[in-house]
Structure 1
Amino acid sequence: MPAKDTFHHAVRNALIKAGWTITHDPFTLEFEDVNFYVDLGAEKVIAAQKEREKVAIEIKSFLRDSIVTELHLASGQYLNYRFALSEIEPDRTLYLAIPNDTYEVFCHSRFVQRILEHYQIKIIVYNPEIEEIVAWQSTTLN
Structure 2
Amino acid sequence: MPAKDIYHETVKKALIKDGWVITHEPLPLKWGRKDLYVDLGAEKLLLAEKIGRKIAVEVKSFVSPSEIEDLKNALGSYLLYSDVLEQIEPDRELYLAIRKAVYFDLFEESIGQLLLQHHHVRILVFDQHHEEVVQWIP
Tell me the matched-pair count: 138
Provide, for residues 56-87 of structure 1, a one-character-per-residue CA deviation record: whole Å limited to 9, x for no partner. 00001111122111110100110000011011
Following the alignment from structure 1 to structure 2, what is the Cα–Cα distance between the partners of residues 17 and 103?
Answer: 21
* Paired letter, 2:79: L
Q: Percent of aligned pairs with the same residue?
A: 45
Question: Structure 1 residue 120 and structure 2 residue 120: aligned?
Answer: yes
Following the alignment from structure 1 to structure 2, what is the Cα–Cα distance between the partners of residues 107 and 77?
Answer: 17
Aligned partner of residue 62 in structure 2, secondary structure: coil
How much has 1:109 moved relative to structure 2?
A: 1.6
How much has 1:108 moved relative to structure 2?
A: 3.8
Following the alignment from structure 1 to structure 2, what is the Cα–Cα distance between the partners of residues 25 and 33?
Answer: 21
Following the alignment from structure 1 to structure 2, what is the Cα–Cα distance between the partners of residues 134 and 70?
Answer: 21
How much has 1:106 moved relative to structure 2?
A: 2.1
How much has 1:44 moved relative to structure 2?
A: 0.1
Provide, for residues 33-59 of structure 1, a one-character-per-residue CA deviation record: whole Å limited to 9, x for no partner. 111110000000011111100000000
* TM-score normalised by the chain length of structure 1: 0.94
The farther-off stretch of 128-137 and 111-120 is: 111-120
* Paired letter, 2:113: Q
* TM-score normalised by the chain length of structure 2: 0.97
How much has 1:107 moved relative to structure 2?
A: 4.1
Structure 2, unpaired ranges of 5+? none
Aligned partner of residue 55 in structure 1, secondary structure: strand
The runs of at least 4 aligned residues of structure 1 exceeding 3 Å deviation read none
Question: Structure 1 residue 129 and structure 2 residue 136: aligned?
Answer: no
Residue pairs, 1:17-28, within 5 angstroms:
17-28=17-28
